[in-house]
Amino acid sequence: MAKKISWKFWITFWLSALIFLAGWFFYWETRNQGIGKLESLVNLLPGTEEMKGEYKSIAFLFNYFSDTNGQEKNILVLFQNNLEIRPGGGFIGTFGIVKIKDGHVQEFKTYDTGVFDAGMKEVIAPPYPITETMKVKSWALRDSNYSPDFPTNARKAEEFYRLEGGTENLDGVIAITTNVLTSLLKLTGPITLEDYPGTYSDENAILALEYQVEKAYEEQGIAKNDRKSIINELANAIKEKTANLSIPQKYELFKILLEDLKKKDIQMYFSDVALQKEIEKSNWGGLVDSEWKKDYLLAVDANYGAYKSDYYVKRSMDYSIDLTGEIPQVILKITYNHTAKQRDFMTKDYITYLRVYAPGGAWLDTVKSKNFETPKFGTEFGKKYLGAIVRVPLGTSKTVELIYSVPKEIANDYNLKIQKQAGINDVPVVVHVTDAQGKKDYSYVLNSDINLK
């Protein structure tokens, strides 16, 4: 059953902005001349080759949705709340189906996954950490984003959508985290709502909205079924501010959306092979790089504590590799700082299922950490992974230290790729590489995938 509280504005704005906002940039010069003309024009634009590649991908998106030959394109949209982080970006509390025909949104319906999942027709055993921490007996759409690889999650979401009674033929899946709201407020500036206390800005909106829909509505005498009406009012206020954006401001919004794509706060997967290829070229598809053969790191958290503790949990990573021995040795330290001091409606002791992906053939020697359960091992995407439940009590800092070896071939023409998890941004990363020439140190903020070279 469709939810009474409509998210139509959000998906209409973000999807339209992402796909069509670029249109002012080149549409009137290329209409009726096809994607080839769009690509030719993009080649003439200023900027780096990376930027031109992104513009070409936008051009493909623009062409795909603006000319559908009178047929509807049905897109499954997953709203991921990254205050409760999951491997694919965040807890899927809501999803929608948007229908687009020849550049126009024909229909958009949203669904509460808690209600929709009740239509599950068969029992599918969830992965280990879900059964262990949440005591859930059957896997469903709300927990479908178990993989760090978005195409895998997209296909799994489509599978659950059909098993739970969904009838639309889907042409693609788009996942959006709550960080996009923050991005938009950076452009519009703070917003004050007449019927609600306080001001909503890019610095406080996520926490303020969470409090409003979980606690404050009771104090204000708002019925539980209407507690999310503030979202519609905030959306309307933002719509008014964005309606009259100047061309320079539209370009700023365009750049903001590109940044959200790079950070994986927006991820896309399409059944159209050519379009999906373009999405992957620009690294907007959220793929785990299964083709990478050099040194590799991907740390993935899954908050299965059912609270929004990730707002308070700050992470950092320290990666050291010694290439001077016969077998390269790695020391990886992942630190969790739980900044909340007491339990409340949003947080409690933090529980995460941590998976660390390393090159195939990696071998764990030592784990140094308290509250770290017996690890499980596996292989996927051509990588070896370790998985274990990590517990971080309120107001504490905990470091997980893993010491492991990687194949000796890694030392040849050394390079390291670090991939980021969707939904987790601004993670400080320090890399130390020791070889025959000495030690080199590198510092990053993990907001996109990193290639050491």
CATH, residue 416: 2.60.40
SS3 (DSSP) at 370: coil
- pLDDT-derived band at 6 (thresholds 50, 70, 90) equals very low
Closest CA to 196 of 185, 205, 188, 187: 205
| Arithmetic mean of pLDDT over the chain | 85
For residues 271 and 119, the model is more confident at 271
Q: How many CB atoms lie within 10 A of CB 189?
A: 10
**pLDDT single digits (tens) 412-425:** 999 999 999 999 99
Q: Quick one: 92 and 192 in the same domain?
A: yes
**pLDDT single digits (tens) 381-424:** 999 999 999 999 999 999 999 999 999 999 999 999 999 999 99
Structural domain count, the chain: 2
- In sequence order, the 6+-apart residues with CB closer than 8 A to the CB of 219 are none
Distance CA 387, CA 295 (A): 19
Q: For a pLDDT cut of 70, what percent of the chain falls above it?
A: 86
Residue where a domain terminates, one of 281, 304, 334: 281
Q: How many CB atoms lie within 10 A of CB 447?
A: 16
2 in any annotated domain = no
Measured in degrees and rounded to the nearest 5, phi and psi for residue 251 equal: -65, -40
Q: Quick one: 192 and 310 in the same domain?
A: no
Q: Quick one: 25 and 128 in the same domain?
A: yes
Distance CA 386, CA 380 (A): 11
3 in any annotated domain = no
Q: Quick one: 303 and 234 in the same domain?
A: no
Q: Quick one: 398 and 340 in the same domain?
A: yes
Q: What's the pLDDT at 225?
A: 61
Q: Quick one: 54 and 181 in the same domain?
A: yes
Q: Quick one: 184 and 302 in the same domain?
A: no
Q: Quick one: 272 and 351 in the same domain?
A: no
For residues 185 and 248, the model is more confident at 185
Q: Quick one: 193 and 65 in the same domain?
A: yes
286 in any annotated domain = no
Residues making up the chain, counted from first to last: 453
Q: What's the pLDDT at 32?
A: 40
Q: What's the pLDDT at 325?
A: 95
Q: Quick one: 98 and 246 in the same domain?
A: yes
What element of type H or E holds 196?
none
Mean per-residue pLDDT, 332-341:
97
Residue with tokens 């991939």: 419
Distance CA 313, CA 346 (A): 12
Query: Is pLDDT above 60 for 4?
Result: no
287 in any annotated domain = no
Q: What's the pLDDT at 243?
A: 66
Domain range enclosing 316: 295-451
Q: Are strands 295-300 and 416-418 parallel, antiparallel or unpaired?
A: parallel
- pLDDT-derived band at 237 (thresholds 50, 70, 90) equals confident
290 in any annotated domain = no
Q: What is the pTM of this model?
A: 0.86
Residue 260 sits in a domain whose CATH number is 3.40.630
79 in any annotated domain = yes
Query: Is pLDDT above 90 for 102?
Result: no
Report the range of poorest mean pLDDT among 55-69, 144-158, 167-181: 55-69
Mean per-residue pLDDT, 269-290:
94
35 and 60 in contact (C-beta within 8 Å)?
A: yes
Residue where a domain terminates, one of 253, 281, 309: 281
Q: Which two tokens stand for residue 312?
A: 């308070």
- In sequence order, the 6+-apart residues with CB closer than 8 A to the CB of 180 are 14, 260, 265, 266
- End-to-end alpha carbon distance in the chain: 50
Q: Quick one: 275 and 300 in the same domain?
A: no
Q: What's the pLDDT at 47?
A: 58
SS3 (DSSP) at 102: coil
1 in any annotated domain = no
Q: Quick one: 317 and 217 in the same domain?
A: no
Alpha helices in 221-325 (DSSP H): 229-243, 247-262, 273-281
Q: What's the pLDDT at 451?
A: 96
